Every structure is written in structure tokens, then in C-alpha cells.
Amino acid sequence: MTQLWGIVNVTPDSFSDGGRYASVEAAITHGRELLAAGAHVLDIGGESTRPGSERVPVEVEQHRVIPVIEALAAEGATISIDTMNASTAAAAVRAGARYVNDVAGGLADPDMYAAVADSGADYVLGHWRGPSSDMYAQAHYTNVGAEVAAEVADRLAGAIAAGIAPERIVVDPGVGFAKTAEHNWALLRELNHVTGLGHRVLIGTSRKRFLTTALGDSTTEEQRDLATAVTSVLAAQAGAWAVRVHNVAASRDALAVARTWQGVIDD
């Protein structure tokens, strides 16, 4: 069954929910809601990676996320920390996180691989070409699927050499990161390049702007939830192990319909 990762943005400037869950209390409540909707993992982040965003101090990031992780992990939730900082990754694992979701794939912090190797957590290695403040400057590809897979393979080699066991690594091809809308659609069509690397694959399309290619520019972030659910099904059919979404219920239902269509009835 495809894993559902529910997004908890403990930030005041998220593109998708406008800081709705920026307080510790609101984030904890939202995490519980996502679990009730069927999330297998809660992906908790304290630093926005939307296009154009600037980095925040590590101390601020940790102040936002650690209390949320501690509270939800204590209730039995499986937690992922969405961070590019090695010290935040280590602190989050101590607080109860079981995954480190690094959209930068180790490129933003040279200590990340060692921190993850020592922590024992599973590692989501994202495809990244530069900071969110200027990510589109690097959006140049001839064959996006093959190039992303090759760059991820290079980072995988570094992560494994640093002591992260291959079976602990999940790959995220970085939909929306240093990629135009055309690149994102092509990457999803060519997902076999990434699944062919032999690791679990996490796909994050949720509410992203490239979806407006199909829907029209006037759609709001939340109006993209149905389109996101469709991409969840298509990603699962293409071999994705997990999808990372804001609206867990929508993708849960879409995946359930697809499984039933295929004759797979859940117990």
C-alpha cells in the first residue's frame, strides 16, 4: 500500500496554508487531524522551501518543530523531520523522529550525512540544485528524468559512503525544485528513471504551482487538492512508495478507489 505522508508546516510563510499551523498548539492539533484522516507519517517542517524563500536561523527552526515532534511522537505517531540542517535533524531524531526528509539531498549542509548515519533514522534524499531563493536559475535540462536520476545517484553514493545503509534511504526526485512546470510534468512521466535506482521513492506534488498547467492559473492552493490526489494515484501506479500531501483524506480516497479498480481490496 502506498504510504501517505501528511504535511505539518510549523511556519508563518508556507505557500500552501499561509501559516495556519505556525503555533505549536495548532501544529499538534493538525497533526492529530492528519493521523485521523489516514496519514502513516507526519512530515514536520519549520522552514519554508517555497520558491523565493530565505533561510531561517537553526535556533528558530528547532524552536518551532521540536515541541511538536515530542508531543506527537509521545502519542505514537511516526514522525519525519523536514529539514536541510544536520543539527535540526539530530535534535529531531532525539525528540522522536524516525525519518529525516532533506530536500537538499545533503548539499545544503555538509554534516547532514554523518548526522543521519549516526542517528539511525531513515533518510529521504531529495533532488536539489540550489537554494529556494534562486532555484529557477538552475532549471536547465535536456532529459530531465535521466539527469535527475543521475544526480540523485551521485548523492546516493555519497550518503552510502558516509555510513547510511542503502535500505535506510528513500529518494525524492524533487518535483518543483529547480524545475519549471514543463520539467515537472516530464519528470513524473519519466519516473522510471528514478524508481530504477532501486530505492523507495517519495513523491511530493501537493498543491504545487505546476498543477495550474492542467487547472488554470486562477486556482488557489487548496483548489489543487483534487489534482494532487490524481497525481498520488498516478505516482503510485508508476512505482512510488509514498506520497507527501496536505490533504490526506483526498489522496487516501483516490488511492483506495484505484486499488479497488485493480481488484485489491484492503482488509
Looking at the annotation, which residues are catalytic? 208, 244
Distance CA 129, CA 224 (A): 26
Q: Which amino acid is at 111?
A: D
Task: Please write down the HEC assignment for all residues of the chain.
Answer: CCEEEEEEECCCCCCCCCCCCCCHHHHHHHHHHHHHCCCCEEEEECCCCCCCCCCCCHHHHHHHHHHHHHHHHHCCCCEEEECCCHHHHHHHHHHCCCEEEECCCCCCCCCHHHHHHHHCCEEEEECCCCCHHHHHHHCCCCCHHHHHHHHHHHHHHHHHHCCCCHHHEEEECCCCCCCCHHHHHHHHHCCHHHHCCCCEEEECCCCCHHHHHHHCCCCCCHHHHHHHHHHHHHHHHCCCCEEEECCHHHHHHHHHHHHHHCCCCCC
Distance CA 90, CA 120 (A): 10
